[in-house]
Amino acid sequence: MKIDIHHHFLPPAHVVQESRRVKKAHATPQERLANWSPQRALDTMDANGIGFAIASISTPGVWFGDAAEAAGIARDWNDYAAAQAQAHPDRFGFFATLPLPAPDYSEREIERAFGDLRADGVALFTNYDGRYPGDGAFAPVFAELNRRAAIVYVHPTFPAYGETVPGVMPHVVEFAFETVRAVISLLVSGALARYPRIRWIFSHAGGSLPILVDRLERLLETPENAGAIPNGVRAALGALYFDIAGASSNVALAALRAVVPMSQILYGSDSPFVSPQKGIATLTSATLTLQERSAIECDNALRLLPRLSGITAR
């Protein structure tokens, strides 16, 4: 059985709101997004041996420049996700979305998410109007999440500067570098060291991060960064979790395993934007022992979310 850490809900009202604000937010045809439903998600999961999915919001999220509006959109998305988790408690959980970069509204939604809604964690994006998570303005939010020993799932979004190669959508290349920017922002700001109780999850095997580790060690391990990175780059990165949505090949896994232990690698499908079949086939053909495959597909997620043990034992 697989536990899917990278899975998206598309509430109908939210999809309509997105389509009005953002053109070409996804490469997925709009009709396919509009036809999504919880039952279709369950059918896809059943067809691919996915027993449980933790849902999160996808880009562009809830922030369109107005804090009160963002809070309302976040509230609606979280209410919808919580309702699906309540209706299907043995199949769905969710990471609540926050109306960042508005910290006051975000702290209120954290209280609601972990209280009434019983979220499994929160989902953030790599940047908000070009401000990355190490920005000091976000410190009160991370302090509260650290107090709660929360899971914080970080998904890439559009870089502030938009397309760099004309005709190539940002998700093709830029998302991989967005993850790197978010991790480096947390690293050099000292946030990873300052909030040690947060369990961080990053998407797509860290994007380009594994390839850059040697460079980061050489250029960031300086006296000026000693306070922010007290134990070095590899120690800081080795404590993070990564899902392997879109990155389950031998090449991607080898790069990631050079940075983190097997215990930090989680299965993710990126459904419904990506059909799970190809990723599962790639993972099945990867050079892994049965124990390693089980760790990625299920066991590591169970350690991270022990509440699922009773569900998966049924």
Evaluate if residue 136 carries a pLDDT over 90: yes
* DSSP 3-state of 154: strand
pLDDT for position 35:
82
Q: What average pLDDT does the chain have?
A: 91
pLDDT for position 66:
93
158: confidence class by pLDDT, cuts 50, 70, 90: confident
Residue 287 structural domain = 2-312
92: confidence class by pLDDT, cuts 50, 70, 90: very high
pLDDT tens digits, 46-72: 999 999 999 999 988 999 889 999 999
Tell me how far the alpha carbon of residue 145 is from its chain's centroid: 15
Evaluate if residue 22 carries a pLDDT over 70: no
Q: What is the mean pLDDT of residues 238-246?
A: 96
Evaluate if residue 31 carries a pLDDT over 90: no
Please check whether residue 50 is in contact with residue 4, taking contact to mean a CB–CB distance below 8 angstroms. yes
Q: What is the mean pLDDT of residues 263-288?
A: 94
Could you tell me which residues come within 8 angstroms of residue 258 by beta carbon, excluding any fewer than 6 positions away?
210, 213
Strand order in the sheet with 151-155: 2-8, 50-56, 92-97, 121-125, 151-155, 199-202, 241-243, 265-266
Q: What is the mean pLDDT of residues 215-227?
A: 94
Say which CATH number the domain at 31 has. Answer: 3.20.20.140
pLDDT for position 255:
95
165: confidence class by pLDDT, cuts 50, 70, 90: confident
Count of domains in the chain? 1
Question: What is each CA distance from 117 to 141, 148, 201, 281, in whole angstroms?
Answer: 18, 15, 21, 35
For residue 276, whether the previous peptide bond is cis, meaning omega lies within 30 degrees of 0, is no
Tell me how far the alpha carbon of residue 232 is from its chain's centroid: 24
For residue 101, whether the previous peptide bond is cis, meaning omega lies within 30 degrees of 0, is yes
Burial class for 121, CB neighbours closer than 10 Å (0-12, 13-18, 19+) = buried
> Among residues 245, 287, 285, which one has the least CA distance to residue 265?
245
242: confidence class by pLDDT, cuts 50, 70, 90: very high
